[in-house]
Amino acid sequence: MRTHAVAGAVTAVVLAPLAWPGYALRYDMVFVPRQPLNWEMLAPADSLPRAVPLDALVSLANVAIPGWLLQRIVLVAVVYLAALGAARLMPAARTGPRLVAALAYAWTPFLAERLLLGQWALLLAYAALPWLVSAARDVRDHRPGGLPRLVLASALAAVTPTGGLIALAAVLVLLPLRSRATWIAFVSVAGLNLPWLVAALTGPAGGVSDPEGVPAFAARAENWAGAWWSLAGTGGLWNASTVPASRASVLTPVVTLLLLAIAAVGLPLLRRRLPGLTDRLLILAAGGFVLAALGSGPGEPLLEWVVGHVPGGGLLRDGQKFLIPYALILALAFGAGAERLAGALARRFEPSAGRVLLGGLLLLPVAVMPDLAFGGLGALKPVHYPADWDAVARQVAAAPGDVLSLPFEGYQSYSWTDGVVVRDPAPRYLDAPVLINDALRVGTVTVDGESPRAAEVQRHLAAGRPAAELGFRWVLVRVGAGAGPPAEVLAGLRPAYAGEYLQLWSNSSVTSTSPANFDRRIFALAAHAAFAVVVIFYALALLRTRRRSW
Amino acid sequence: MAKLATIVVALVAGGILGAVGIIATMGAVNPSADRVAQTSEIVDPATSVYGTR
């Protein structure tokens, strides 16, 4: 019960600003009142499927739940499940070490930095991993219900390609290779990865990415100790704008050393209590750490070659995201180390001395990074969409057709987001195919996107030629987001809506959407159906076991 | 003796946590010099940057 209370308290402290109404919009985190369920959500026509099957799941959930509530549910689930999962996985008879592991996993630089970057779907994988490992332990021990729990935890992780790959790797590493259950689990989790795989293989976007993305998205030194030491403390995200300022503290590397030392003390205990599984989790964590460190060391040229030449290699460019297994083993070993040290102290002096130490170590993650509290000291403060968005969405829905969103930048800050950078909400707000620029600007560097159509449009607009020639039914202009498009770009278009924040221009010479690729749609639908079948099958199988609740 | 040990442990643990907390909070409210320098290097304060290193 105390683990639930602590998980709840951590969740409340981290997500406190979400008590205010509105939408917390930050970078990749874009929730809208009602995300349409259309083919773009199943298999985006012009970009790599980075949010597949995530978008379809959000659209489906949006049928029953409004966007503002859905956002709160998933963010609460992330923090709460991460804390509770780590506490339950921690092999300790007493509650104290479990709570230490819970806080060490739920109050990490990784969670803070990815949350402030808005990558909540990746954090679902983070929250799912302790449950996945716990289920893997049950599968190894032939306990009933282990396999369904393993696959369902993997499903939570597999809402994005990265999470799906981490789940697949976890299944392969954590389970014994020569086992029927392993291969059943492998095939099932591979099935969960089908939606994004099919969308990527059948899409027009090139499979390879711009190698310039490797140095741009490589792990970053957050303080004097360098990038690799930042990774050792589960930080090191590439974007300085989304890193809690306390990570730059001169003391942070010293506390990382303390954390690692206590984890080293606890590792032998953890290996005794989770025999076999700890070693395998260590291997998984080591693999993830190598991927995370590769871009910021001598391995950078190799990674650039992989990203630039191997289809799908772009998944590796922001390698810090693969730290998830490392963060988990670190939290568990830290919890075990805290238990050992507290036990030694209690035996030498008295029980209360051990409890004091345990309490101190429980609060250490909070003390070293206090600015995760209250949504990164207010960074998650919700805002409201201007009424223009609803007005434009109605007009587009009345005459559906392809939409070009200008300025041709995928990410921008707006006055109505209080200056916070956010991904263009148009593809999720409007019930139509919306083309946005998938090139990413990191400082002064522009990392090219993968969409040939976006690249063509970029060249066309850069030449100052009219957008009307590009064949879009609508041109959306986001006012106030930098300089507006020049008059010659809007030549030949008729104004359809003019608000304070949005303008909609109509191209009456275009009356239909771009031709649909029906084969691709059937494949995408089949892949999503496979995902759903796997989830439903194992949910029913879990209900049948009735042995143990989640 | 035992009570004294508890007090000593509490003082050490509390001292470490307090020091860490104070320095981390100072870091949180007062960004380090290299961050300020990095921000001031951006010539065009464009609104369309995904992030800065």
Contacting residues of B for A368, CB less than 8 Å apart: 20-21, 24
Where does the pLDDT of residue B36 fall: very low under 50, low under 70, confident under 90, or very high at 90 and above?
very low
Residues of chain B found within 8 Å of residue A356, distances taken between Cβ atoms: 6, 9-10, 13
Mean pLDDT of the region A120-131: 98
Q: Rg (Cα) of chain A, in Å, rounded? A: 24
**Interface size, chain A vs chain B, as Cβ–Cβ contacts under 8 Å:** 138
pLDDT category of residue A97 using cuts at 50, 70 and 90: very high
Nearest-by-CA chain B residue for A347: B2
Q: How far is CA A396 from the centre of its chain?
A: 30
A49: closest CA among A532, A432, A451? A451
pLDDT band at A46 (very low <50, low <70, confident <90, very high): confident
Q: Are A186 and A169 in contact (CB under 8 A)?
A: no
CA count, 13 A, side-chain hemisphere, A490: 17
- Residues A443 and B38: their CA atoms lie apart, in Å, by 10
Candidates A108, A28, A111, A49; CA nearest to A77 is A111
For A369, name the nearest residue in chain B, comparing CA atoms only.
Answer: B24
**Helix, strand, coil % over all residues of chain A, rounded to 5:** 60, 5, 35
User: Hey, what are A161's tokens?
Assistant: 């390609």
What ipTM is given for this predicted complex?
0.82
Distance CA A526, CA A519 (A): 11
pLDDT at A547: 54
Please indicate whether, in this complex, the C-beta atoms of B31 and A350 are within 8 angstroms of each other.
no
Q: What region, left, alpha or beta, does residue A455 occupy, with left being phi > 0 and alpha being psi -120 to 50 degrees?
A: alpha
- Between the alpha carbon of residue A38 and those of residues A43, A60, A380, A525, the distances in Å are 9, 10, 29, 11
Average pLDDT, chain A: 94
A482 — pLDDT class (breaks 50, 70, 90): low
Place of tokens 């070693």: A279
Nearest to A482 by CA among A419, A435, A428, A439: A419
> What DSSP line would sit under A173-207, residue for residue?
HHS-SS-HHHHHHHHHHHHHTHHHHHHHHHSSS-S
- Tell me which chain B residues have a C-beta less than 8 angstroms from the C-beta of A255: 20
> Does A482 reach chain B within 8 Å, measured CB to CB?
yes
Strand-strand pairing, A474-478 and A502-506: antiparallel
3-state helix, strand, coil in chain B (%, to 5): 70, 0, 30
Region A468-488 average pLDDT: 86
pLDDT tens for each residue of A365-404 = 999 999 999 999 999 999 999 999 999 999 999 998 999 9
Gap between the Cα atoms of A400 and A526, Å rounded: 25
Nearest CA-CA partner of A148 in A159, A135, A130, A164: A135
- Residue A27 confidence class, pLDDT cut points 50, 70, 90: very high
Question: Do residues A419 and A491 touch, judged by C-beta distance below 8 A?
Answer: no
Find the closest chain B residue to A255 by CA distance: B20
The verdict on whether omega for the bond into residue A407 sits within 30 degrees of 0, i.e. cis, is: yes
d(CA A329, CA A263): 9
Say which of B28, B49, B50 has its CB closest to residue A245.
B28
Residue pLDDT, tens place only, A214-247: 999 999 999 999 999 999 999 999 999 999 999 9
pLDDT at position B25, please?
A: 77
On the question of pLDDT at A466 being above 50, the answer is yes
Query: Which region among A274-278, A438-442, A507-511, A546-550 has the lowest average model confidence (pLDDT)?
Result: A546-550
Contact A385, A32 (CB under 8 A): yes
| Alpha-carbon distance B23 to nearest alpha carbon in chain A (angstroms) | 7
| Longest alpha-carbon distance in chain B | 65
CB-based contact B50 A442, cutoff 8 Å: yes
Q: Report d(CA A194, CA A200) in Å as an integer.
A: 10
